[in-house]
Amino acid sequence: RLPVPKLEDTITRYLNAQKPLLNDDQFRKTEELAHAFEKGIGRELHEQLVAQDNQNKHTSYITGPWFDMYLKAREPVVLNFNAFMSFNPDPKPEYNDQLIRATNMTVSAIRFMKTFRAGYLEPEVFHLNPEKSDTEIFKKIIRFVPSSVSWFGAYMVNAYPLDMSQYFRLFNSTRLPKLNKDELYTDEKAKHLLVLRNGNFYVFDVIDRDGNMLKPSEIQAHLKYILSDNSPAPAFPLGYLSSENRDTWALLRKNLLENGNEEALQKVDSAMFCLSLDDFPIKDFVHVSHTMLHGDAANRWYDKSFNLIITKDGTAGINFEHSWGDGVAVLRFQNEVFKDSTKTPAISPQSQPASVDSSRAVQKLDFKLNDALKAGITKAKQRFDATVESLSLNLIRFQEGGKELLKQKKVSPDAVAQLAFQMAFLRQYDQTVATYESCSTAAFKHGRTETIRPASVHTKKCSEAFVKELSKHSPEELQKLIVECSKYHGRLTKEAAMGQGFDRHLFSLRYLALSKELPLPDFYQDQAYARLNHNIISTSTLVSPAVQLGGFGPVVADGFGVGYQVHDDWIGCNVSSYPARNGKEFLQCIHKSLEDIFNILKGKKIGS
């Protein structure tokens, strides 16, 4: 189970995270408020939280508050919450044809779903010592140990089973807009796929009456039929509604239902997933990011648990809604789909589509729109277009080294990437700001994520040495500063992964106070608390053989959204920003910071 940290540990960790962001006077005030909270109302709330947690052993203390946080948020899901991960191309070029890849990936996705529902999907396990635990012998033995104690057997060999409670929401699921708080909806009985092309909505069954998957050649035939349909794009594309403010969208949805669209919407909501087929090829990586992060809202349904997007040239990616689950579940799905569709593809470029009557099997959904709905779609489109217009996406590949060299030098690759972000921001804006790094707590029952706070007194000291006082430090001193940052970051990462961060704990205590209608404690009204939770640099990382790049929008208007990957010999960085910040310049500063850090670690001098 996810542990509730000790209150005194949480306060200490919180103050450590505040230190680099405040001057001495501000810090003293924040420290006073924190200690008063710890001795007073905070203690009471903490005891209530622990008691509540003990009564709800079937779940974790963060589950309720976290779902609420996502589902009560009224901002549009696109750019604010939905993230994307794009697939690497199929290693066999001729398999990157849009129809072939769409068919193979759809078949692999259905195989994954059937394997999961039948209880045959291999459990997600984090192996600290893979030589011992990631073996056929261990799998054979553990299979026969009752599940109530099997986790203990895994612990003995340093293998940690991860929580998979989110997986069932991958399929046949959608987020329904409701006033004040949305709902998650899942209908596992539905057998159809939703396909979007040119703003038109199509559905067809991919599972037959006996629960078997349709033949791949039939799925291919139906997708070919959709790809060759030359119906014009709708004048009022429904997809835009899923990009709206949630309350606005809830009212429009009510109107849709009352206007005779119940059956069509039910098809959209219950579909296995949404396959979005785009009619253009990809120009470059920035174009990939724009396409997968938001694309054309006419051809997306952002409320689905995920959209599988495939462009004209077979570039594929996933855009996923975030309330139901986190990157770990989506990544596992993505890895399996990539592996299955490339290693054992269902169809080949030589395959012929089945001779079936697709015009009968495929249903094009028709929506009845009154004037209010048409006006709603027009307004949603204007809003969406304006937001997208203001969004910048930029990326770099740092080619001068990566994980291998950093491990040789005994520093943490993640710590170095995070240090580079701190250094870059200092170089560009001359300040240290609230920074967020996401860390999975899936090692615990119903764990979600915890925050790592990469901005520390160590990164601040090191960044200032590199950016402002280079001439005052010898290369050995600079090396020592990097190592200190790495050690401290390693500690923070370990704490977060073990459920010992401070963010979720403080968030839950605040949630508890509000749910009991207590006045909000002074601690939470401190400007420093608000500033720490205004995450100007929001970061997330993942590396996988299936994933080409990933990214998300800034979480605040004056922030950066940083998706990064540290590979063996290079580092990739994908940055999103709005006009308040210059993402291109930030990336140049990141590149310069990485160059400096690597030069110092290699024992070279830094060029100015």
What are the residue numbers of the active site? 322
Q: For the chain, how big is the Rg over CA atoms in Å? A: 25
CA atoms lying within 13 Å on the CB side of residue 436: 23
What is the rounded CA–CA span in Å between residue 417 and residue 565? 9
Instruction: Give the per-residue SS3 of 456-475.
Output: CHHHHHHHHHHHCCHHHCCH
| Secondary structure of residue 125 in the 3-state scheme | strand
Q: Which two tokens stand for residue 86?
A: 């794009």
Residue in the block written with tokens 């399996």: 336
Please count the residues of the chain: 608
Q: Is 198:328 a contact under the CB 8 Å cutoff?
A: no
Give the Cα-Cα-Cα angle 406, 409, 414 (nearest 5 degrees): 35
What is the rounded CA–CA span in Å between residue 108 and residue 310? 14
To which H or E segment does residue 86 belong?
strand 83-87
To which H or E segment does residue 380 belong?
helix 371-390
What is the rounded CA–CA span in Å between residue 534 and residue 212? 49
What is the rounded CA–CA span in Å between residue 608 and residue 471? 11
Residue in the block written with tokens 């430090």: 473
